A and B are shown apart, each in its own frame.
Chain A
Amino acid sequence: DQQVKQNSPSLSVQEGRISILNCDYTNSMFDYFLWYKKYPAEGPTFLISISSIKDKNEDGRFTVFLNKSAKHLSLHIVPSQPGDSAVYFCAATANTDKLIFGTGTRLQVFP
C-alpha cells in the first residue's frame, strides 16, 4: 500500500514558467513533509519541507503547499530553470525517524 503517491511520473515545463509537482498521502498521522531533488548518478538532496501545522512554506523560487483536508501537497517552482531538471521525491514522516517516499516525478525544463 503506497502511503505517499506521486501520480505524475514526468512533467515537462518551459523555462521561466511555473512547475507544479503534486503529492498525495493516505496516512493522517504524517506530521512532516519533505521534498528531495535528485540528479542522475547522485544521491537525493533535501529541497524544502513543511510541518503539518502550516499550509505554506517558501524558500526562494520554491514553495510547498499543504492541504491537510485533501491529504495533498504540491511543490511550486517559479520561475523554472533548466538546472531544475531532475527527479523530485516527496516524502513524509509520522514519528521523525523514518521517511516514506513517493515514486518520484521527473521534471524536464526546456528552453
Chain B
Amino acid sequence: DAGITQSPRYKITETGRQVTLMCHQTWSHSYMFWYRQDLGHGLRLIYYSAAADITDKGEVPDGYVVSRSKTENFPLTLESATRSQTSVYFCASSELSTSGRGNEQFFGPGTRLTVL
C-alpha cells in the first residue's frame, strides 16, 4: 500500500518488556518522525531522522531507541516499557523539496500502546 503505515495498531504489554513499533513509508521521504500524543500535551516529538543512519532526539526521547537502516523504515523501540509510556504513537514523514508547502508532514494512522 502506498503511503505511511504503522504496525501494530494496538499493543498491550507489561512493565519492563521491550516493545518495537514499526513505521514504513513508500514515498522515499528523507525525513521521518515519531510523536506521542497525550491528553493535555498534544503531539510531542520523540525522535526524528533526516536520512538513513541519521537520527536525532526530539523533546521526549528518554526510554526510547530508534534506528534507520533503510530510508523507508523507522522503528521505535521501548527498551523497558513503563506505565508512563502508555500513549498513542504516530509516525510521520516529510520531504522538504515538494509542493512549496514548507514542512508538511504526512502521518501514519497511529499505534495505541498500553503498558500494564
Number of interface residues of A (CB under 8 A): 24
Interface size on B, as a range, is 20 to 34
> A20 interface residue, CB < 8 Å from B?
no
> B44 interface residue, CB < 8 Å from A?
yes
Chain A interface: which of B12-20, B65-73, B77-85, B105-113?
Answer: B105-113
Closest to B38 in A: A103
Closest beta carbon of chain B to A94's beta carbon, Å: 10
Closest beta carbon of chain B to A23's beta carbon, Å: 11
Q: Which residues of A contact B4 (CB under 8 A)?
A: 43
Closest beta carbon of chain A to B81's beta carbon, Å: 22
Closest to B59 in A: A100
CA distance A46 to B41 in the complex (A): 19
> A86 interface residue, CB < 8 Å from B?
no
B58 touching A34, Cβ below 8 Å:
no
CA distance A21 to B33 in the complex (A): 26
Q: Which residues of B contact A104 (CB under 8 A)?
A: 42-43
**Chain A residues proximal to chain B, CB less than 8 Å:** 6, 32, 34, 36, 41-46, 49, 51, 89, 91, 93, 96-104
